[in-house]
Structure 1
Amino acid sequence: MTGAPLLRVRDLNVRIPTPGGELHAVRGVNFDLNPGEVLGLVGESGSGKSVTLRALLRLHRPPIVMSGEVEYGGQNLLKMSEARLRSVRGSQISMIFQEPMSALNPVLTVGEQIGENLREHTALRGRAAQDRAAELLDLTGIPSPRARLADYPHQFSGGMRQRAMIAIALASEPRLLLADEPTTALDVTIQDQILRLLLRLRDELGMGLILVTHDLGVVAQTCDRVAVMYGGRLVETAGVHELFRAPKHAYTLGLLQSLPGAGAQRQPLQPIPGGPPNLRALPPGCPFAPRCAHVTDECRAAEPPLREVAPGRLSACIHFDELPALRTELQEVHA
């Protein structure tokens, strides 16, 4: 892909005050997203994925502090006036939240909630807005879309609520879609349908997509590039094929080795020992060092910077060139 990036993020930080001290939830995150590209943001729970996604649209409120640059359309969204930001948020950049049952308003019909977005960000009103709302539900694969506009969220199944969230997000035909674990708690059949829908809409609308997930199978099926988060920062970025074949960070290697294999030759799972670090009290050096099988004294001395280790590949691992290559094929991960 060529040309200017659709989104450019530089030194993004999110600090959350807590009774136990400041929690530095996002630490110096940098990445670009090109038009029409799908970027997977992956990592364990608590790594900072959802906090990062919400920071892109400045959804955190004081006393939470955000800093850095989130450049879209030549402007820094973190410095933009609230009035100007409202014209971008939900219009040019939309978000699918993680849990549709809490994100959807239970006392408004699905049609009213889609119509609210249409009234705010398009010129459609009345019958034209209703027709467009039905068209959006039909686009997301909901049967009898015009009749379902009068239904409330509790009358939809989990998969249909997720599709309704997607319809609301797509109402303004955004250039960028932020999806926070859109397939969580869905059965595998519905999950596959949602992912195929997102990719089809990406192709039809030409929008960029950032997909937050902890499911590497979803990443393999959907993404062009992957950014791996650990301890509030990016520790590796790579094309999806390159990352699955030869991870360049010990944490990424651990994630891939913990996947169940496919085919006749199945191997025991190799879980990563321990748990994610406490972001209020990070260990010295590399935050993954206490759980890493490749750790040395050098790893504990100072936190390695994220740097280019191969064309198009960044890693924050001192031992990136010593890690074993994997025979993980994307079709195996799909299984």
Structure 2
Amino acid sequence: MTERPQPILEVRDLRVRFATSRGEVRAVDGVNLALAPGDTLGLVGESGSGKSVTLRAILRLLRSNATTTGEARWRGQDLLAMPEKRLRALRGREIAMIFQEPMSALNPVIPIGVQIAESLQAHTALDAAGRRRRAIELLDLVGIPSAAQRLAGYPHEFSGGMRQRAMIAIALAAEPKLLLADEPTTALDVTIQDQILKLLLRLSRELGMAMVLVTHDLGVVAETCERVSVMYAGRVVETGPVDRVFTAPGHAYTDALLRSMPHGGVARAPLRPIPGLPPRLDRPLQGCPFTPRCAYAEGRCGAEAPPFAPVAPGQEAACWASDRLARREVPA
């Protein structure tokens, strides 16, 4: 087996707490991630599982009521301990982010061309003419027609898919080595979604760029990513190669997610939704947080947190039922 290259990003025991009127919310609870150059990692899980907060915490883009601990090492340097001035120079140049909703991420009163030029001015030595040429190249690269004319357009003059492409152009302006994509195809029709995902994959290959893709869509991960990490209640509960995790899940939550998706086969077969709701993160969690919803749960699940342990080469999970899942002992 070919040895994996050394990671350029290592997230270790990342924890995020929010101070709220209801008490402390543990939004991210001990997350570990690693990305090598050119890796594509899918980050999946239900809403509220901590996916977006994890990405924002890596770049320290959280609100003032957040407390972040742990490490996020970028090429050996801890982003969480880095001076703000150094981090601001790194954001956008080495690590870029595509936000979930372009209409809230783009400035509605500034033309798209100016917003691209601002990124270029901050992270390159190009003069005004060079920034304009590069902005046209970027819009053309992401598939926006009549790129020179669209530079003067405002976000509300672009369709949803075009705004998302414009955000990608801004993110790629300085040719970063890591792209954090927070649900980049949310609310887009499937045709535009497919175009944007293919675009991101192509640019990742051409630029040698690593990518973390946050999404609810397991099909998108299967088509786009090499590795996947599954999050639940602020924790990564399983990680490994996409083909292995999706065909032989090592965690009961991953198994339940896969079973809740539509599958080809018997016509009108009922879906199998996951019962119940995710736990409240402003209350202490004992044992495995998935226990109340888990078809495999046993006595120790609610009392003792399972260790994160190997279940197959390159695949790890934190589940007391991993052995039964491996034997395909499907609960009734």
TM-score range for the pair, normalised by the shorter chain length: over 0.9
Does the aligned pair in 2 maintain the 1:42–1:226 contact within 8 Å? yes
C-alpha separation between the residues in 2 aligned to 1:325 and 1:261? 21
Are residue 3 (structure 1) and residue 9 (structure 2) matched? no
Aligned residue type for 1:129:
R
Aligned residue type for 1:81:
P
Does the aligned pair in 2 maintain the 1:234–1:306 contact within 8 Å? no
Aligned residue type for 1:157:
S
Are residue 232 (structure 1) and residue 234 (structure 2) matched? yes
For the residue of structure 2 that corresponds to 1:323, the secondary structure is helix
From 78, 100, 116, the equivalent of 2:102 is 100
Q: Deviations over 1:39-60 (max 9, x none)?
A: 0000000000000010010111
Aligned counterpart, 2:41: 39
Q: TM-score, normalised by structure 1?
A: 0.95
Aligned counterpart, 2:28: 26
What displacement does 1:284 show?
2.3
Aligned counterpart, 1:167: 169
Aligned counterpart, 1:181: 183
Which consecutive residues of structure 2, in runs of 5 or more, have no partner in the other structure? Answer: none
For the residue of structure 1 that corresponds to 2:47, the secondary structure is coil
C-alpha separation between the residues in 2 aligned to 1:264 and 1:272? 20
Aligned counterpart, 1:48: 50
Q: Deviations over 1:113-159 (max 9, x none)?
A: 00000000001121111010010000000011110000000000000
Aligned counterpart, 2:82: 80
Aligned residue type for 2:312:
A
From 232, 245, 253, the equivalent of 1:251 is 253
Structure 2 vs 1, CA of residues 141 and 264 (structure 1 numbering), >3 Å: closer, same or farther? farther
For the residue of structure 2 that corresponds to 1:129, the secondary structure is helix
What displacement does 1:325 show?
7.3
Are residue 89 (structure 1) and residue 91 (structure 2) matched? yes
Does the aligned pair in 2 maintain the 1:117–1:168 contact within 8 Å? yes
What displacement does 1:302 show?
1.1
Structure 2 vs 1, CA of residues 210 and 73 (structure 1 numbering), >3 Å: closer, same or farther? same
C-alpha separation between the residues in 2 aligned to 1:252 and 1:270? 13
What displacement does 1:263 show?
4.9
Structure 2 vs 1, CA of residues 25 and 146 (structure 1 numbering), >3 Å: closer, same or farther? same
Does the aligned pair in 2 maintain the 1:231–1:287 contact within 8 Å? yes
C-alpha separation between the residues in 1 aligned to 2:285 and 2:16? 19
From 116, 122, 147, the equivalent of 2:118 is 116
What displacement does 1:298 show?
1.1
For the residue of structure 2 that corresponds to 1:138, the secondary structure is helix
Which consecutive residues of structure 1, in runs of 5 or more, have no partner in the other structure? Answer: 327-335
Q: Deviations over 1:192-235 (max 9, x none)?
A: 00000000000000000000111101111100000000010000
Aligned residue type for 2:126:
L
Does the aligned pair in 2 maintain the 1:180–1:211 contact within 8 Å? yes
Q: Number of paired residues?
A: 326
What displacement does 1:4 show?
1.6
C-alpha separation between the residues in 2 aligned to 1:194 and 1:169? 14
C-alpha separation between the residues in 1 aligned to 2:286 and 2:81? 33
C-alpha separation between the residues in 1 aligned to 2:75 and 2:68? 20
Structure 2 vs 1, CA of residues 27 and 283 (structure 1 numbering), >3 Å: closer, same or farther? closer
Aligned residue type for 2:56:
R
Does the aligned pair in 2 maintain the 1:110–1:151 contact within 8 Å? yes
C-alpha separation between the residues in 2 aligned to 1:8 and 1:169? 21
Does the aligned pair in 2 maintain the 1:175–1:208 contact within 8 Å? yes
C-alpha separation between the residues in 2 aligned to 1:241 and 1:96? 26
Are residue 305 (structure 1) and residue 313 (structure 2) matched? no
What displacement does 1:282 show?
4.2
C-alpha separation between the residues in 1 aligned to 2:11 and 2:286? 26
For the residue of structure 1 that corresponds to 2:180, the secondary structure is strand
From 157, 160, 176, the equivalent of 1:158 is 160
For the residue of structure 2 that corresponds to 1:210, the secondary structure is strand
Query: Identity of paired residues, percent?
Result: 63
What displacement does 1:292 show?
0.4
Aligned residue type for 1:226:
V
What displacement does 1:264 show?
5.8
What displacement does 1:238 show?
1.1
